[in-house]
Amino acid sequence: MVAPSAYTIEILLEPRPGGRRGVFDLTLIDRVRQNIFEGSVVDLDLAGKSSELPSGRSLLADDFCLRLRRGEPVPEEQGLTFGRLLLNLLLTDAHVTRAWNDIHTRRSAAGRAMRLVLDLRLPPHGDDEPRGYVSPSLIPFELMADDHGFLFHERGHVLVRAADPAVSDLIRADEAPPETRRAGDAGSFSASAKPRGLMIRGPLAWAVPKLVTRPASFEGSATLEETARAWSKAVSTVPAGPDAAPLPQPSPHFIGRDDEVMLCLERFATERLVSIVGLPGIGKSDLAAAVAHMAVHEGDQGFHKGLWFALEGLTEVDGLRARMALSLGLDPKRCRSDEDLARGIGSGRVLIAFDGAEVLLRNPLTKTRFQWFLNTLLQECAGLCFLIATSKRIGDVVVPSGDVAVAKESVIELGPLKPLDAKDVFVASAGVRLTTSERRSQDLVALVGSLLGHPRALSIAASEAGAALNLRELRERLEKGAEEVRVPRGLFGVEEGTEDDLRVRRYLSAQGLATSSLKAHNPRALEVLVWLGHLPAGLPEPLFGHVFGDGAESLGAALLRRHLLERRELDRHIRLASPLEAFPIRPSEHLPDARYAALLERTFAALGAWLTVTLDPPGTWRDRDRAVHEESNLAALVLAIPEPAPEDIADALAKAAASAIVPFAQLMMKASRSRAASEVCREAVRHIASLGTGTPLAGVLTALGDLFVRIERFSDAEQAYAHARPVYQALGDHFSEASTLNALGDVFARTGRAKEAEVAYGEALPIFRALGERLGEANALRALGELRAREERWKEAEEAFAQARAVYQSLGERLGEASARQGLGDLLLRTDRLKEAEWELADALRLYREIDEGLGEANTLQSLGELFLRTERLKDAEDAFSRALPIYREIEEVLGEASSLRALGEVYMRTDRLAQADTSFRHALSAYRALDDKVGKANTLQSLGKLALMRQDGEGAFGLFLSALRLHEEAGNRLGVGGDRGYLARAARIAGRPLRAAVLGGQAIASLDRNDDRFGQMVAMRDLARSLAALGEQKGAVAAWYLAWARGRMIADPSAPSIAAMLAEVLPDFNPSALPDDEVAARYERDLAEVLAECEAKLKNAGEDPYSYLDPR
């Protein structure tokens, strides 16, 4: 057995269809890193390659191979030389060499031995093959290697093992087991017998032979879930900082752009925004990568850092800002504005490159937002420069009023390669596919010239060289194909009949020729190409095998070799090369219905696993970004569900689709993309329903309901949950039924249907308890606590919250514990237990931040802000509300945004910023009206009324408070009703109506007393005392002041000492340091009741309704 710690890689060699002898397609597969792969073309024909042998070595290839095949003794030196030559031949391609070196770096860092398996796929041999000739490429063997060289096995026979040829510690024959010794020959091994094992010492001690030609499985053979989890961990733990956005290496075939590189570098001497603009495939990304490397590492532009961002898959600037924050080591959740990001970038000399910026320039609104984004960063960061690769110009920046336009685009139009450079690109791309005579032929010159200097077209055409067509035939096919291509008008911004139009058509013809070749010689690779047309964002490379089956790595490598696919290096998504995605191949032409459905099912399942592993435990920001990246994939896959689907796969397809859609919806909510996700889920419901009902449909309906709740579409959410519940009931899935009841209860509670909500929670709770589902039980208890708190059933609510908190703590469920603490903190705040409230809310905030739960964090900041307002800590209150507001906006929580706006208005009002307060209140009111939230509208009207009072507009304030009162009464909000009555009394007094103010004040106090709102009672008593004093009712005024002091003293309100000082002046026996006297308080209550009764009688005799609008006097 091979040591478990060995680092396993595989090299797969397949003969090129129609190619000359000895030329093979090579695929290098890293079995440890979830089967990621790289590919090239190699020439393994040893004839004539003596010049490539190590110095001082010689090798008769045919003699060597014949001896090996016959089981004859093989000289040790020849074996060593053969291994070295083979390695040199395998690593001729720069991509493969880079991958090989990366593997060695990782293996060495991990302290692991290497195990390399060489797998040759060989065609049958014809009778006309020269007798006695055996090419080395016909030898199936396995290799084991370390940093020094190879250990070969041929059909279980030890061929040779040697250390570094420069070192003399080769394996001696006396170290081999008896079965492999050749008597009297210390310099060679016999391969005539099969050894039981080979004990290797010294530098070879890591190697333990596995005596089979090809092992049945590899270290990388893992289940789908294992693959997804391993790769998720790999891409999610890329450290924050520049390593999260590294500059990519230019293509190894990046040739002939020296002038353009220098031009870009020169522009940065005077410009800060440089755009490289050109046709698809013309080399914009390669040029940008080369310029970035030169500018940061070799140039004299002074850049100390360079960051690279590929923008495919992005639809919003907010997503780009979050990605950039991560690369700078910032928490994206704390970086919610362009100015926040600018502070993270700082004033140092930094180059930021955006590749594929046209995705943010297609929509006019997004384009404007992108322009503003660039302008803000350039304005705030003195040393920042942008390098942008795009097929569309950014254009003139129109900034918001008051801003300065500093983003001036400097455009570099990237044109075709020069003829000599174009030939070099073709030859470098073709590599060993071309013979020496072909490299010197006029056919090559003519072929290169027909491609008009287009780098991608040259590389694709070069990949077809050395196969079925000679160079002349290849040119003729390309030119004929270009005549048949029709490019949609305006697709690439070129005019019909121009040279650029011909250049694009020949590029597309080259792609067509490559796909035709695949159809004839490698139909499975064509299948991969066709299927990737359903995945605009590409497929994660480790999932290739799980989607396309055995040999998927070689299929992907074949397409990469032909430049029909491209890879995003950071998380290794492989997607169609531009502009192939604009000309998708119709699957119906190449995929039978059953295969189409099977691939769709596998792809959903793979992406589902890819997304699911990020949910438990909660993932990093990069994991949430993954959901955004897969949004376009899932939207396309949902639309690809056939109607009807083959019966034998319909159920599996429905389950697979649901397995991807449900985690996608949950992650999109965390990524603040609920609205976009809801559209994908709506389509998913429709298509999955066509496959039949059952658990998959119910799961997606529930996910859709959750999304609708997040974006305040409660009616749609209720409908989704209502459709899901009977499905769960029919299936006997009682847990999901109870969870759906809980969700329905939340919808009822959010829409003011308290009785229905309590019924739903009440039905869910016993189901959870019967199932022993303690987490579900805790969720139902917490929901009941919130509902009862909303109805001001304080004691019942506190009991429910406390029970829920205890269950969550016992389960280690931090999200649930945080929500229970938040609910309990809100309750304690409402019941004037302010210190306890602050403790609970502070703990809730800590927990929400630990698990990165934005909505909970914002809600808790909102509650803390209200507490700070109550305790006159206005700066802290403003800070809390200001932090909550952008979180609500980012996660599309309109109700929370409106609440923060209203609360900030309260702070502005208390700090005499009345104009800001008015603006904030009116924005909040508009949001509440859009949501048809009665309580929110009423609370904001109440705030606007208070603002009118500060402006001494008693009549206007009275009308606003009256409107708020009616809305609060309609919503059954008793706490709001008590506050409205108190403010109506204050407005009447300021308007010069003290009698009406006294009557309304008395009614307000009665209402607040029923709510046990002692803070509200204290405030209303103070107002009532002033109204009675204005009426000359001294006895009633003193009684009201005493009772106001008593209530303030009980809740430790900051105003209590000032009231006590005033009472000490009018009441000789009053002791301000003593506690309120119950008997004294009862006497004053009676005095006040008498005075208020007289006031009500006077108002009634005057024929005045206390709740009628005030007429100006």
DSSP 984-1049: HHHHHHHTT-HHHHHHHHHHHHHHHHHTT-HHHHHHHHHHHHHHHHHHT-HHHHHHHHHHHHHHHH
pLDDT at 857 (0 to 100): 93
Gap between the Cα atoms of 331 and 58, Å rounded: 60
Gap between the Cα atoms of 930 and 498, Å rounded: 52
| 1007 has a pLDDT exceeding 60 | yes
pLDDT band at 24 (very low <50, low <70, confident <90, very high): confident
Closest by alpha carbon to 3, among 213, 205, 221, 227? 205
Give the pLDDT mean for 863-883. Answer: 92
Contact 273, 408 (CB under 8 A): yes
The two three-digit tokens of residue 8, written as one number: 């396993």
Phi, psi of 28 (to 5 degrees): -100, 120
pLDDT at 129 (0 to 100): 40
pLDDT at 712 (0 to 100): 75
Beta-bridge partners for 157: 154
Q: Which of 214-223, 578-587, 771-780, 789-798 has the lowest mean pLDDT?
A: 214-223
Phi, psi of 633 (to 5 degrees): -65, -50
Most confident of 613-617, 651-655, 1094-1098: 1094-1098
Put residue 12 in one of left, alpha, beta given phi > 0 → left and psi -120 to 50 → alpha.
Answer: beta
Strands 150-154 and 157-161: antiparallel
Residue 73: is it exposed, middle or buried by C-beta count within 10 angstroms (0-12/13-18/19+)?
middle
pLDDT band at 930 (very low <50, low <70, confident <90, very high): confident
| 304 has a pLDDT exceeding 80 | yes
Beta-bridge partners for 75: 188
Name, in order, each residue with C-beta under 8 angstroms of 1091's C-beta and a sequence gap of 6 or more. 998, 1028, 1033, 1035, 1036, 1039
Q: Which of 78-87, 461-470, 667-676, 956-965 has the lowest mean pLDDT?
A: 78-87
pLDDT at 112 (0 to 100): 76
Share of the chain above pLDDT 70, in %: 79
pLDDT at 454 (0 to 100): 93
pLDDT at 475 (0 to 100): 92
pLDDT at 832 (0 to 100): 84
pLDDT at 169 (0 to 100): 32
| 616 has a pLDDT exceeding 70 | no
What length is written for the chain? Answer: 1113
| 162 has a pLDDT exceeding 70 | no
Strands 150-154 and 23-30: unpaired
Please tell me the chain's helix, strand, coil percentages from 3-state DSSP, rounded to the nearest 5. 60, 10, 30
Name, in order, each residue with C-beta under 8 angstroms of 490's C-beta and a sequence gap of 6 or more. none
| 180 has a pLDDT exceeding 50 | no
Gap between the Cα atoms of 79 and 745, Å rounded: 76
| 33 has a pLDDT exceeding 60 | yes
Q: Which of 514-523, 612-621, 816-825 has the lowest mean pLDDT?
A: 612-621
Q: Which of 68-77, 608-617, 727-736 has the lowest mean pLDDT?
A: 68-77
Gap between the Cα atoms of 596 and 640, Å rounded: 10
Gap between the Cα atoms of 86 and 607, Å rounded: 39
Beta-bridge partners for 539: 574
CATH 1.25.40.10 segments of the chain: 855-932
| Helix-helix angle 814-830:834-850, to 10 degrees | 160
Q: DSSP assignment of 656-701, as one string?
A: HHHHHHHHHHHHHHHTT-HHHHHHHHHHHHHHHHTT--SHHHHHHH
The two three-digit tokens of residue 423, written as one number: 């030939």
Contact 937, 896 (CB under 8 A): no
pLDDT at 245 (0 to 100): 65
pLDDT at 191 (0 to 100): 29
Q: The pTM is what?
A: 0.67
Give the pLDDT mean for 192-219. Answer: 29
Phi, psi of 757 (to 5 degrees): -65, -45
pLDDT at 1093 (0 to 100): 92
Gap between the Cα atoms of 585 and 599, Å rounded: 16
Alpha helices, DSSP H, located in 431-551:
436-439, 442-450, 455-463, 471-484, 499-521, 523-532, 544-548
pLDDT band at 845 (very low <50, low <70, confident <90, very high): very high
- The model's pLDDT over 1011-1060, given as tens digits with 9 standing for 90+, comes to 777 888 888 899 899 989 898 888 888 999 999 898 888 888 888 888 88
pLDDT at 110 (0 to 100): 77
- Give all strands (DSSP E) within 199-257, no chain letters: none
Closest by alpha carbon to 388, among 372, 406, 373, 409? 409
| 862 has a pLDDT exceeding 90 | yes
- The model's pLDDT over 959-1003, given as tens digits with 9 standing for 90+, comes to 999 999 998 888 778 878 888 888 999 999 988 889 998 999 898
Count CA within 13 A, CB hemisphere, residue 815: 13
Gap between the Cα atoms of 112 and 90, Å rounded: 22
- The model's pLDDT over 238-251, given as tens digits with 9 standing for 90+, comes to 444 555 567 887 77
Diameter of the chain measured on Cα atoms = 134
- Domain 855-932 CATH class label: mainly alpha
What's the chain's average pLDDT?
Answer: 79
User: Does the domain made of 242-251+257-413 have the CATH classification 3.40.50.300?
Assistant: yes
pLDDT at 131 (0 to 100): 36
| 933 has a pLDDT exceeding 80 | yes
pLDDT band at 5 (very low <50, low <70, confident <90, very high): low
Q: What angle do CA 126, 130, 135 make, to 5 degrees?
A: 85
pLDDT at 881 (0 to 100): 94
Contact 431, 95 (CB under 8 A): no
pLDDT at 127 (0 to 100): 42
| 365 has a pLDDT exceeding 80 | yes
CATH 3.40.50.300 segments of the chain: 242-251+257-413
| 803 has a pLDDT exceeding 70 | yes
| 3 has a pLDDT exceeding 50 | no
| 151 has a pLDDT exceeding 50 | no
Phi, psi of 743 (to 5 degrees): -65, -40
Name, in order, each residue with C-beta under 8 angstroms of 613's C-beta and a sequence gap of 6 or more. 225, 228, 229, 232
Give the pLDDT mean for 456-471. Answer: 87
Phi, psi of 566 (to 5 degrees): -135, 155
Closest by alpha carbon to 287, among 459, 414, 391? 414
